Chain A
Amino acid sequence: MNTAVAKPSMQLLEGATAIAESAILAGCRFFAGYPISPFTPLLEHMSRALPENGGVCINAESEIEGANMALGAGATGAMAATGSCGQGLALMQETIAEAALNETPMVVFNLARNQQDYFQATRGGGWGDYRTIALAPKDIPEAVEHTQLLFHLSRRYRAPTLLYGDPLLAQTRVGVHLRRIEFDELPPQDWALDGTGGGTGESRQIWTWAMGKATNPGLGPDGHWQQVAAKFDRIAELEQRSEQRYAEDADTLVVSFGSAAKFIEHVVEELRAEGHRIGWFRPISLWPFPGPALAGATAGIKRVLVFELNAGQMLEDVRQYARDRDAIRFIGGVSIHESGLSYGPLLDAPEIRARILAAIAEDSTRSTS
C-alpha cells in the first residue's frame, strides 16, 4: 500500500500502521526492527511501505543490531528509526545512550505491553549523563502527531527520541487524518557523514568521546559531556508538554499518562456530571516531566490521585513536584492480561471510578474521625 504521498481524507487504520505512515510522511527513510508483540505490525508495515517510498527497512537479527543500524543511518543525516516493546528496548539501552552522547538523531518506538516501562523511558539504562525525550500519546491521532514531532525534535537537538505507546495504540483501528506536519526550519546538518570529508584535512567524526582529529582537537570527554548535559538541561526547560482540565476548581486531581489518561478523562467527566469537584492532569512528555505545570495544577488540590498501570513509577515524579506530598494517593497498580501481552482488568472505567471514589471516601472518613 503506497499511502504516504497525499492523504487528504480520513482513513480507518490500525494504530501501528498509522504511526508507520506518519513516520514516512515525516521523512523517515530507514527502519530496522525485530518482531515482538505488540510492536510487530509497525515493523511489518514499514517493511512494505518504506521501500515503496524510497526507504529501506531491514529485518535486524536482534534489537541491538536494529538500534545500531538506525544509529548508522542517522549518522548520515537520514531520518532513521527502530522500535520494539519494553523487552526489546531493554537491549537497546546502550545504543540509545550512545546516540545521545555522540549526538546522532534517531527515533525509537516503544509499542509496549503495558505501562511498566516508565522508568525505562524516563531514566533509561545506558551509561552517562543523557536523557531521552519521551512522549506518551493518549490515543492514535495524537501518536500520529507525536511521531512527526519526535523526528523533528530528534534532528533539532541531535538526540534520540522515544514514543511510548501500548497495545491500545498499536492494535486499535480508528479513523485517522494523515498529513505532513510542518515544523520550524532545522539547523544545517553539517555534522552528517557523507564521505566527502576524506583527504580535506577536515574530515568528519561522530564520536562519543569527541576527541576530534589530531589537527583539529575536539572537546574531549570532559568538555563534550558537559556540553551534552547542558543541552539536556535546555531541552528540559523547553520541551515540557502537558494537559489538564478542571484543576482550578477541583479538590481531587487525577494524574495519569498515555492510554490510561484517556480512561481518566472519561471517568472524570462522569464524576463531574455527578457533582464531584475533580479534574485531571496528564504529562504528555514523560521526559522532560512537566513538573512546574503539575506544581501549578496541584496548588489548591486536597488530594492528588496517581493512576498508572504499574507499581508506581510516575508516582516518583509526581512526588517531586506536587505542591503537597501528603496529598498524594496511588490508585494504580500492576495489572496484566493473562497472556502477558496487554493490560489486565484495572484498565476499565468502572474499576477506575471505584478506586477514585474509594480514595475520596477514605479521605473524608479520615478527616471526620
Chain B
Amino acid sequence: MTQELRIVPTDRPPADGKARKVADFRPSLMLGEHGLCPGCGEPVALRILLETLQDLGIVNNSIGVVGHGCYGSFVRIMDVDVLQCLHGRAPSCATGIKRMRPQTAVFTMQGDGDMVNEGLQEVLHTAARGENVTAILLNNGVFGDTGGQQTATTVLGQRTKTSIEGRDPGLHGHPIPVADLVASLDGVGYVARGAVGTAGSIARTKRMIRAAFESQLAGEGFSLVEILTMCPTGWFVGAPQGPDYLAESMEQVFPLGDLRARPKPSGAGA
C-alpha cells in the first residue's frame, strides 16, 4: 500500500536551477506567537517538528492530527493542514487519513494524557497494524491543560493536583513507558525518546524526528518520537528550574535514546 515519497531538499536551491525567492523554498510555518506558559517545552517541540517538515521538503505534502492538551492551540499557528481530533483518538484519525492519502506524510501530536491515558489502546493497535504514520508524543507527566493532574506517565513521588503527597504506587499505580511498549511491537519502523531540556537534547531530538519521518517516507511502518517537555506550571516549579527538574525526575525514569532503530541505520538518535 505504501509508496515512497520523493524527498525534495529545501535547505539548498532547487535542482531545476529556476530562480526563486528564498522564502519560496524555506517558508516559515509559524503563523503567529504561541500562547503557552513561559518555560513550557511544547513550543520547542513544535518548532523542531515544523523545521523537520521544511528540511525534508514535505511541508506541502503533510497532514497533522492534533489531540487535546496545551499543544492543541498550535493548530492556530502551524501552517500545515490539520485535523483537530477527539481526546485520545489521533492514531485512528491518522489511520483513516493515511489510508486514503498514502502519498502524504501524516503525523500526530498528542500529550501523555491524550496518548497514554485516554487513548492507550489506539497507539498500540496503530503501531501493531504497522500504520505508516509518525506519532509525536509530548510527555510532561501531567495533564497540563487541565491544571496539573496526575497522568499515566507521572513518575513515582511526583506531586500533582491529584497526587498531592506524591505519586504513590500503592494508591496510584506505576508510570507506563509507552514508547518502550510500542518499540516492542512488530509493525514498527522507528521509536525514540528525546527531550527539549537542553540545546543538546533539542538537537538530538530533532534528528530523531527526522529519522521518524524518513522511516515513514520509506514505508517502514509506525514511528514514534516521545519528547519529554517541561511543564513548570504543572510541576509547580519556576520556569528556569524546568530543565533541571526534567533531567532529575522524568529522564531518570524515561531514559533518552533510540528505542527501536530503523531497519537500516539512519544516523539519528542516541
Binding site for B on A (CB under 8 A): 29-30, 32, 56, 58, 60-62, 64-66, 68-76, 78, 80, 94-95, 98, 102, 193-201, 203-209, 211-215
Contact = CB atoms under 8 A, between A and B. Distances in A.
A196 B60 contact: yes
A329 B130 CA distance: 56
22 contacts: A32-B96, A60-B92, A65-B92, A68-B85, A68-B122, A70-B96, A71-B96, A72-B95, A72-B97, A72-B100, A80-B96, A193-B97, A194-B81, A194-B101, A195-B62, A195-B105, A197-B81, A203-B81, A208-B84, A209-B84, A213-B79, A214-B32
B59 A199 contact: yes
Q: Chain B at the A interface: mostly helix, strand, loop or mixed?
A: mixed
B32 A102 contact: no
Of A32, A72, A193, chain B has the most CB atoms within 10 Å of the CB of A72
B61 interface: yes
Contacts of B94: 72
A217 to B, nearest CB: 8
B76 A68 contact: no
A48 B129 CA distance: 18
Nearest to A212: B76
B32 A72 contact: no
A205 B105 contact: no
Nearest to B25: A199
Contacts of A66: 92
A195 B89 CA distance: 20
Given A65-B122, A69-B92, A195-B63, 10 more contacts: A64-B89, A65-B125, A68-B86, A76-B63, A80-B96, A195-B61, A195-B62, A195-B105, A201-B79, A206-B84
A70 B79 CA distance: 25
Contacts of A62: 121
A72 B104 contact: no
B89 A95 contact: yes
A228 to B, nearest CB: 15
A326 to B, nearest CB: 45
Contacts of A208: 84
Given A195-B81, A204-B81, A214-B77, A75 B121 contact: no
Contact of B81 (A78, A95, A102, A193): A193
Given A68-B86, A206-B82, A78 B93 contact: no
Nearest to A214: B32
B31 interface: yes
Interface in B66-91: 75-86, 89
Interface in B1-47: 1, 27, 29, 31-33
A207 B96 contact: no
A196 B84 contact: no
Contacts of A76: 63, 96-97, 100-101
A64 B93 CA distance: 11
Contacts of B65: 72
Interface residues of B, number: 42
Contacts, number: 154
B53 interface: yes
B99 interface: yes
Contacts of A69: 92-93, 95-96, 99
Contacts of B104: 194-195
Contacts of B27: 199
B97 A75 contact: yes
A72 B84 contact: no
B60 A195 contact: yes
A356 B74 CA distance: 61
A212 to B, nearest CB: 7
Contacts of B100: 29-30, 56, 72-73, 76, 78, 80
Nearest to A75: B83
A214 B31 contact: yes
Nearest to B93: A72
Contacts of B84: 102, 205-209
Given A30-B96, A68-B89, A199 B79 contact: yes
A164 B92 CA distance: 25
B177 to A, nearest CB: 21
Contacts of B1: 56
A72 B27 CA distance: 27
B79 A58 contact: no
A317 B221 CA distance: 50
Q: 3 tightest A-B contacts by CB?
A: A72-B96, A214-B32, A73-B96
A191 to B, nearest CB: 10
A56 B132 CA distance: 14
B58 to A, nearest CB: 8
A72 B82 contact: no
Of A30, A94, A206, A208, chain B has the most CB atoms within 10 Å of the CB of A206
Contacts of A95: 86, 89
Contact of A61 (B54, B60, B77, B125): B125
B83 A193 contact: yes
A66 B78 CA distance: 28
B61 A196 contact: yes
A205 B79 contact: no
A203 B74 CA distance: 13
A213 B83 CA distance: 13
A198 B65 CA distance: 13
A199 B105 CA distance: 14
